[in-house]
Structure 1
Amino acid sequence: MLRRILIVLALLTGGLVLGNAPAHACSCAPLTSAERMEHAAVVFTGTVTRLDAPFEPFSPDVPNVFTFHVDHAYKGAPTAALEVASHTQGPACGMRFEPGSRWLIFARSENGELESGLCSGNVPIAKGGKPLTANDLPTGESAALIAALGPARQVAVSPPEPAVVSRRLPPVLVIGVIGVAGLIALVSWGTFRRSRSRRTR
């Protein structure tokens, strides 16, 4: 009986966690440098110092959260340590920023949190901590981007800390595990009580 209950709970939990994500490809409209600036709430250059990633494969819809060591700001008022979320999957227009890499980030504000992705116009740039120049841009990016950014405002003075990667369980999986553990404890207690009752008769 206990085994059947656990199997049912495991299947239900798996269904809640995994689900059926819609299958679609990410499609981005090309943006000019000015449009990238207009659509973003915060624009900055920074180095990825931390990646908080969901525990795969149980959480395809839980975003990665990247912590950036912000060296210069071009729009908004970012702090020296800034978190930006992005979907884990490319079809959902998610983007992965490798720990230790430096980027020009265009982030939008969603429900009080910063998000960015493949359609935001982010650009990998040369490592360092100085204001962005045309020489820091990869091939294919024009100097017009530097003009659109405008003057840089220094944010962090110290160099970035060594990068860290951590894994986190999605909330629904944590709830499922707690539920299963509680059911096991309840069934075990009931079995103990019945066994004890038989011995005292």
Structure 2
Amino acid sequence: MKIVKMALTVSLLTGLLLLAGAIAPKAVQACSCVEPVLTEQMKSQDAVFVGEAVSSKTKGFTAFSSTLDKVEYEFRVAEVWKGQVTSQLKVYSTAGSDSCGMEFKQGESYLVFAKSIGGKLETGLCGGTKLLSGAGAELSQLGQGSKPPALDFLTSKTSSAGAWMVTLLAVVLLAVLIGYAYYRRRTSHRL
């Protein structure tokens, strides 16, 4: 009798486990996208370009890090179809693909669709950005783009340190000239 009860219990537990496995939720992905239509992308995005990812910068891992944290990617731009895009620029994306973030590999070229949010270009998995090698259909629809303008040293956000150095040097030079003129004026009155 004990053996029958034990066999019945094992059979019941096995059946419950099989049933639980059959009705348990399957693995889900937090980010799911509808395949974007190129004409809609061109309307909704602020910048469209082809560029090579040259670097990335994260704020580093902390106890409060999240896949929603932004990663900064720098691109060397080769061709532009839309937007105020220079030959070097930064694009931001969330850190994880589960948060619809795009991970760009250094040295790879991409067709990038980006939106300006708070003055920064941002992109993600659902925006249509993809490896250049897989963007043949989009490139043929886009046609010939234009070359990006070169960065202007004094007005570029990336070279603001250079602009400050030029300004500081000019102020120091002006102070030296004023000091020299004052010194000459004082010493000429003593004679």
Give the shorter-chain TM-score range.
0.5 to 0.7
- 1-structure distance, mates of 2:126, 2:73: 17
What is the percent sequence identity of the aligned residues? 31
Match for 2:89 among 82, 92, 106?
Answer: 82
Provide the residue aligned with 2:142 in structure 1.
149
- 2-structure distance, mates of 1:119, 1:93: 7
**Structure 1 residues 94-153: Cα deviation after superposition (integer angstroms, max 9, x where no partner):** 11001111100000111111000000111212xxxxxxxxxxx42xx563x234323310
Higher relative contact order (CA 8 A, sep 6+): 1
**TM-score using structure 1 length:** 0.55
Deviation of the 1:156 alpha carbon: 6.5
> Is 1:49–2:54 an aligned residue pair?
yes
Counterpart mapping for 1:118-197 below 5 A: 118-125=125-132, 137-138=133-134, 143=137, 145-155=138-148
Structure 1 spans left out of the alignment, 5+ residues = 1-22, 126-136, 158-201
- 2-structure distance, mates of 1:35, 1:79: 23
CA contact (8 A) 2:85 2:149 kept: no
> Is 1:117–2:110 an aligned residue pair?
no
Provide the residue aligned with 2:108 in structure 1.
101
Provide the residue aligned with 2:165 in structure 1.
none
CA contact (8 A) 1:37 1:149 kept: no
Specify the code of the residue in structure 1 equivalent to 2:70: P
- 1-structure distance, mates of 2:142, 2:119: 23
